């Protein structure tokens, strides 16, 4: 028992400090391991193997958390991308089929896209981009998989 008028020795202080440091490190490691997830995105309905796919993981309408460029499997006309160590939360995925590899989604003279695109949750086909609210999903498990079917206008 330690009385109020006795000082703790340096060895006891060091031992207590180490115990607190180790406990906080274990708690931090558990939070880090629990708070990050792996997200696998499978892309289907690709019309050809020209170019590549540009995939953006978004946390809101204007923020890209991670982006990837992936090749298309010419045999299956599908592609897969994996985002690792993503903090749990709400996200949306946007994909474009960059057939000419110029880094953007191209449009014709009347403003219709001439390359394919897609979003998480596969919202219905309509002119203009899908609102983020329709594309967002919860990433709250260690491993999540989603599938996106690309859309093409004639």
pLDDT, tens digit, for every residue of 68-117? 999 999 999 999 999 999 999 999 999 999 999 999 999 999 999 999 99
Is 135 a member of any domain? yes
Q: What is the pLDDT of residue 35?
A: 72
The end-to-end CA distance of the chain, in Å, is 83
The reply to whether 126 falls in a domain is yes
> For residue 63, is it within any domain?
yes
130 in a domain, yes or no? Answer: yes
| Residue 1 resides in a domain | no
The answer to whether residue 10 sits within a structural domain is: no
In this model, does residue 134 exceed pLDDT 60? yes
Largest pairwise CA distance in the chain: 86
Tell me how crowded residue 55 is: count the other CB atoms within 10 A of its CB. 23
How, if at all, do strands 36-44 and 143-149 pair? parallel
Question: What is the domain extent for residue 78?
Answer: 37-149
Q: Is residue 99 part of a domain?
A: yes
Q: Backbone phi, then psi, for 144, in 5-degree steps?
A: -130, 145
What is the CATH number for 145? Answer: 2.60.40.1120
Number of domains in the chain: 1
């Amino acid at each position: 028992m330690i009385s109020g008028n006795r000082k703790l020795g340096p060895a006891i202080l060091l031992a207590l400090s180490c115990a607190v440091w180790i406990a906080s490190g274990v708690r931090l490691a558990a939070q880090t391991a629990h708070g990050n997830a792996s997200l696998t995105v499978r892309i289907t309905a690709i019309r050809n193997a020209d170019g590549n796919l540009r995939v953006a993981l978004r946390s809101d309408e204007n923020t890209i958390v991670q982006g990837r460029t992936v090749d298309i499997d010419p045999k299956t006309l599908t592609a897969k991308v994996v985002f690792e160590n993503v903090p749990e939360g709400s996200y949306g995925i946007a994909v474009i089929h960059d057939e000419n590899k110029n880094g953007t989604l191209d449009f014709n003279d009347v403003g219709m896209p001439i390359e394919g695109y897609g979003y998480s949750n596969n919202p219905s086909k309509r002119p203009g981009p899908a609102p983020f609210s329709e594309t967002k999903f919860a990433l709250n498990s260690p491993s999540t998989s989603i599938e996106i079917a690309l859309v093409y206008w004639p």
